[in-house]
A and B are shown apart, each in its own frame.
Chain A
């Protein structure tokens, strides 16, 4: 019973984060997308990372939901098929692998977040670079885009850590 309600929370949260990414980017573009520093919100990546890192005994089909989120990103935001479709399952795989070797606490979560928030833009930049879909050089990518993006998302993760952890812990206790 509890597991199914947790599952619904996960699905609704995922849908919300997918659209929040685009909406936050749009509403706060003047503050986030500056030419000297670009911070991109990665709420979807954060949600997938936390869900895969915190889930304990539940067996949610997280991979399939990651693929779904990837399809929406590719179609609605990017316009190129196959970029986020590949990245989001990789994010889930990363968090699940690290869960086996790391304890679940704040610092480990921030570390997983650090890796996830780096890999997501790195892979999407590489894919677009390959097809000529971006003119950003690697140096610009590292300094202008990656560093501020990491900072922004680590702060969001720090704020959301307690509520998200509680959500999954409560799920485990009831079960």
Chain B
């Protein structure tokens, strides 16, 4: 029994990082491989969120709490600091998530316009369209 518990206790180890890396690779494969522009963008989202997972995992402290202090004005005791997870990665990833959604929005707007111009959002079909030199530049 105790050995099972010990095994479980040691288990997360690097697992979170590995899963984050696998997700990162999945996202990258979708981005590289997909011919549908929307799917490409979703692949990008997976890719980014894998990096977010990596950041958040490194901020975790075992048996820790969310970094919200129980008592407001007083500083917490130095000994109690290790009871809280690291707030800095959280702040960074909040920013990064926002950056990610901003990129997604711009990408989607571009997709809408590609569709209006080419009538399709599939890269193979876009490639079928006549090759045109950018010659009207009045």
A and B form one complex: no
